[in-house]
Structure 1
C-alpha cells in the first residue's frame, strides 16, 4: 500500500463538477492499494498518517502532527501509484489491487482514519474521474509504502 501525503492549506475533489470532499489545513492523501495488501497494512499506514509530524511549531520546525493543529484529511484512491514503467512508454498497473479488493481496503482506511482522528474524512469517489485541487503548503510531500515497515 502506498500513500502520497501532501501538506495542504486546502484541497477539494470534484466529480462531474460536484464537490465530493473538501478540507482546510491538513493532508491530501493519495492512496494506492496493491493486490497483496491487507488490513494490517491499513492499520500501520493510518497510524503513520495520523502521527506524521510535518506541521510547523512556533519555531517553524516540523514538530506537530495532524491532531496538534486540528487538521483534516482528504483521501483519494489512486491505483496509478502502482504504475510500472520499466518497459515501453505505456504504464502497466498489474500490481494494483482489483476493485473488489481495493474498495474494501479503501473504505477500511477511511474508517480507521476517522477513528484515529476523531473527525470525518473527506473523500473522492472510488473509480470515478476526479478533479483534485489543492494548495500545497511548503511544499511538503511525503511518500510512504507499507513495504517499508518490514525493514524496521
Structure 2
C-alpha cells in the first residue's frame, strides 16, 4: 500500500472512531433504557412512584399513599411531633390540578359537585414532576373506572 493510500485509510479509520465515540456520548447522562410507559404500570407501581415523589419532596410533613381499594387512595400524613392522620380520597371524584407559585403545587380536591372536603396539596420542584404526579393519579383513576366494568 502506498503512503498516500495508507494515510487516507488512517484518516477514514480515525473519522470512524470519532463518529463512534460521539455517538456513544450522546446520552448526556440520560438513561439508555426507556422508563416504563405510564399505561403499562400496575396500580401498585403508580402508588410506589407517587410515594417516591412525596419522599423526595418532603419538607415539613411526611406523607404516604396506599391503595385501600381500586377506587380509594388512603393518604397518611405526619407532621413533626404530631400523630399520624389519614384521609381517604375517592379516585373517581378527585379533581387534580397544579398551579405555579415559587414552585409547583399539585392540588387534589373533591369534584365541584360534591360536599366540601379538605383539599390536599403537594409541592414539587418542577413542572415535569407536577405533570408526572398528575399522570400517575390519572392512571389510578382510569384503573378505578376499569375495575367497575
Tell me which interval the TM-score lies in, with the shorter structure as reference length.
under 0.3
TM-score by length of 2: 0.23
TM-score, with structure 1 as normaliser: 0.23
Structure ID, larger Rg: 2
Bigger share in helix: 2
Choose between structure 1 and 2 for higher RCO, CA contacts under 8 A separated by at least 6 residues. Answer: 1
Q: Where is the strand percentage greater, Structure 1 or Structure 2? A: 1
